[in-house]
Structure 1
């Protein structure tokens, strides 16, 4: 019984225990030829901090996002400040899977031993085509990839974690359910984590990993990444 209780406490915690993160919020389905809105937010899902409080961004209220089209071509999306989020839009000109990514080293204080890096990813299905639904189009140092546009409730979900272009084996990340609970999942030898969702709606994922470095003005990289996926 004691082991069971420990397991429950390990795998399920309330959302308030989650650290703040940078998320890309957007509709996970788009329409060719129609403007699509993308938001960059900081905080917790549905609980966003004002831009003025964002610790990770100090060079002005603008962040460049990378839009990766289904054919693999890329373009920059410029954001504008909107109170508690940054806003960008684009018009899909082809059907398939688009990816919007953010990758940024935060401002590091002189003498600090850790360099923090923010990564975020959103994948958007336009039409029924699956062209572009490949992790190789994404170049972030750390990201979680969902190989389906949407998953079914009560059916197993597979998510792959990549670090510097390679599957990250035996790493933990948080899956935040629409109910407000978090489940910790671990990747296997191939960098894939599996779990069975209990609710429908939009799920968020957060991951953080550290890497020792040499030859730099700091001793380690601390990377964080986030993404979302849908369960129907």
Structure 2
């Protein structure tokens, strides 16, 4: 009976780990001298499920949120729990693009996989100078810019890793605010989708790395990488 219960709990944890995503939400257009609120969620975006911070699995509550200002200066932002998300604030002092970024490795190994979550966000103050600072990070999702896109206009997306020229088994999943989800196939290492509803979309890029080793005292056979980015779409 205990073995059956353990197996059920293990399956539940695996489903949570691979079914969930970590993402950042914030207002895209900021103002100098005005506090900017940032929210970090864990859950299933398309299902409108955002887990209470008290129920975040493994060591997910220990993530670190960083801000890179337009000059390239990097600092860690303090995050506090607020129900179904963590929140942080910063105040832009100059014009340009402010990059928000999380890079977090899950403590447990699930079904032979080490899991590494990434989440990015961009706040633009008057112009996009400094947007290339996003590429300082290990795994990023690149689009046509931080500004909101229009419905029915194709959006090109690419996945970029700091040290890898090819990303094995790379996938992009697009999730709309209305629960619509689509897995997009790549063409020459790039992706394209057409948003048909207005609102905030979640873009989720993944790839699986064939690497073996030990993590927190447990062996793993592969590394699953997952990066997210919220993209606003207007009519």
- Tell me the TM-score normalized by structure 1: 0.81
Q: 1:43 is matched with which residue?
A: 43
Question: Compared with structure 1, are the counterparts of its residues 86 and 62 closer, same or farther at alpha carbon in structure 2 (3 Å cutoff)?
Answer: farther
Measured against aligned partners, the alpha-carbon deviations of 1:162-200 in whole angstroms (never above 9, x if no partner) come to 2345464873211111222012212222x3211221111
Q: 2:140 is matched with which residue?
A: 143
Cα displacement (A) at 1:86: 0.9
Alpha-carbon distance between aligned partners in 2 of 1:144 and 1:56, rounded to the nearest angstrom: 25
Q: 1:175 is matched with which residue?
A: 174
Checking the alignment, whether the CA contact within 8 Å between 1:160 and 1:193 is kept in structure 2 is: yes
Checking the alignment, whether the CA contact within 8 Å between 1:62 and 1:79 is kept in structure 2 is: no
Alpha-carbon distance between aligned partners in 2 of 1:210 and 1:168, rounded to the nearest angstrom: 8
Question: Compared with structure 1, are the counterparts of its residues 67 and 136 closer, same or farther at alpha carbon in structure 2 (3 Å cutoff)?
Answer: closer
Write the mapping of 1:1-232 to structure 2, written as runs, cut at 5 A.
Answer: 19-45=19-45, 46-57=48-59, 61-108=61-108, 113-127=112-126, 129-134=127-132, 137-140=135-138, 142-148=139-145, 149-165=147-163, 166=165, 168=167, 171-189=170-188, 191-216=189-214, 217-232=219-234
Question: Compared with structure 1, are the counterparts of its residues 75 and 93 closer, same or farther at alpha carbon in structure 2 (3 Å cutoff)?
Answer: same
Misfit runs of 4+, over 6 Å: none
Deviates more, 1:203-212 or 1:97-106: 203-212
Cα displacement (A) at 1:119: 0.7
Whose helix fraction is larger, Structure 1's or Structure 2's? 2
CA RMSD of aligned residues (A): 2.3
Structure 2 gap ranges (5+): 1-17
Structure 1 gap ranges (5+): 1-17
- SS of the residue 2:220 aligns to: coil
Checking the alignment, whether the CA contact within 8 Å between 2:64 and 2:104 is kept in structure 1 is: no
Alpha-carbon distance between aligned partners in 2 of 1:135 and 1:161, rounded to the nearest angstrom: 15
- Tell me the TM-score normalized by structure 2: 0.80
Alpha-carbon distance between aligned partners in 1 of 2:141 and 2:38, rounded to the nearest angstrom: 18
Question: Compared with structure 1, are the counterparts of its residues 23 and 215 closer, same or farther at alpha carbon in structure 2 (3 Å cutoff)?
Answer: closer
